[in-house]
Structure 1
């Protein structure tokens, strides 16, 4: 993995942690904030998306659209899981579990897709996962399964399943897209287009979910917080554009997912600074495990 790709992912991790802090500050809004956030990049990128598709030289296969659609469902699962988790626990607890737990899952998924991982990388992924399990603890004596059996952690794991799904499928879809349009568009243009399409599908999925379940109050609340949601949505868009671009520069998506976990460290620090959350020594040990795991995964 090149230094440029690493820099892209680390910067995206900082932005990702930042918009999660905004999301935590809107914890009472539930899915409303994330619905409004999904529409912001969709509308902003709509002209670009139509321009990209207007080229007579490209014709995207149905397989691409299928993967985008399924990925959008996983994105919606991630966002809803995160929204409900933030209503039940600290961002310093929820964010690490939701972001780092998928590392092992994505690692296994990439092996199924034909990639090879070294022993050091598996050890690194395991340390990252262990680190995120330490973060929610007040003391290490609480390192028992029963202490993770609560609503906040349960929803964080739902979000983790969503992360695993869209991370793998986005890599598959963007590889198909790149192979189809590489003679017409650059890697940067491909990443921006894919982002616009994915957010459009995700916004549609969330809208359909809330409409079918008749949660009309979600739409009203979403409109009321449109300003902060737009800021978060733009940050989400920039964040994932950088990740998608990095995906075009590396074959192994599990390394991208692992490196994104630097956002956990940023999230903890931002939660302490802006949300007045507590720093505990257990969280410190968890951070060390995550950092060591990242080093092992990338060497």
Structure 2
């Protein structure tokens, strides 16, 4: 990976861990929090989307791009709702690493099928990142049992992990189509920002329509009441994933970007202790060391 791409992903990791603190605060309002954050980012980026489409021309975008965009939006919804509901059952130090690290192996395997093989050292690094998650939910090493992971918090974290793997793979394919369509008119960075804004609309509108169709007006009211913090989270989400999308345009193998994003796990653990007063255990120390070693091997 290019040094600039690495720097962008690391910065995004800090911001990503930060907006997850807001998600923890509103852990009992998963749908409304996702609605508030996504629509705030959507309206913020709307002027840019209109400018981009004016320059490019709506007709130049293939049907396959819009299909991938809708599918990515659905995966984003799965991720956000799964993550926020997971926080209802466990602290951020438990949920955040599981939801963020498990997609590493999934995306790595998917990219292998797409023709982007990894070295043995990179696979070892991916395995270590995932292994580091095993120790995070535990308070002692004697608790390494199946029962320790058999709870609703971990279940929803797995749901969030599936969503993450889904949109990571889809977004790289959609960005490639977008870059081809915009070739000679707009550069890859401009296309990445457009895709970011379009993705938030693909996430926020389905949630809003679902609330209206099911007459679930309470979620809309909750979203309005948390509009300030939701807007802050939306801005952080937009900045975070905008940096990631830019990094994706600099590498062919998206699994390396996904692996590097897992440094946010370390930031999430530390923020959970500093800001939410969550406890720190020796198992988490081992987890951090294992994850950092895995990241080193993945990018070496």
Please report the TM-score for the alignment, with normalisation by the length of structure 2: 0.97
Aligned: 1:5 with 2:20: no
Shift of 1:182: 2.6
Separation in structure 2 between the aligned mates of residue 43 and residue 240 of structure 1, nearest angstrom: 16
Counterpart for residue 109 of structure 2 = 108
Counterpart for residue 160 of structure 2 = 159
Separation in structure 2 between the aligned mates of residue 215 and residue 154 of structure 1, nearest angstrom: 25
Q: Deviations over 1:224-246 (max 9, x none)?
A: 01001100100000000000000
Unaligned runs of 5+ in 1: none
Counterpart for residue 35 of structure 1 = 35
Separation in structure 2 between the aligned mates of residue 298 and residue 206 of structure 1, nearest angstrom: 37
- Partners of 1:16 and 1:263 within 8 A in 2: yes
Aligned: 1:50 with 2:39: no
Structure 2 CA distance for partners of 1:88 and 1:112, relative to 1, 3 Å: same
- Partners of 1:57 and 1:184 within 8 A in 2: no
Separation in structure 2 between the aligned mates of residue 167 and residue 213 of structure 1, nearest angstrom: 30
Separation in structure 2 between the aligned mates of residue 210 and residue 121 of structure 1, nearest angstrom: 43
5 Å matches for 1:133-144?
A: 133-144=134-145
- Partners of 1:30 and 1:87 within 8 A in 2: no
Shift of 1:57: 5.5
Shift of 1:27: 1.8
Unaligned runs of 5+ in 2: none
Shift of 1:8: 0.2
Aligned: 1:237 with 2:238: yes
Shift of 1:213: 4.0
Shift of 1:87: 0.8
Greater shift, 68-77 or 207-216, is seen at: 207-216
Separation in structure 1 between the aligned mates of residue 75 and residue 178 of structure 2, nearest angstrom: 19
Please report the TM-score for the alignment, with normalisation by the length of structure 1: 0.98
Aligned pairs, how many?
299
Aligned: 1:99 with 2:100: yes
Structure 2 CA distance for partners of 1:87 and 1:56, relative to 1, 3 Å: closer
- Partners of 2:116 and 2:253 within 8 A in 1: yes
Shift of 1:113: 0.8
Q: Deviations over 1:272-295 (max 9, x none)?
A: 010000111101101111000000
Shift of 1:208: 2.9
- Partners of 2:26 and 2:84 within 8 A in 1: no
Counterpart for residue 209 of structure 1 = 210
Separation in structure 2 between the aligned mates of residue 128 and residue 32 of structure 1, nearest angstrom: 32
Counterpart for residue 25 of structure 1 = 25
Give 4+ residue runs of structure 1 displaced > 6 Å after superposition: none
- Partners of 2:56 and 2:185 within 8 A in 1: no
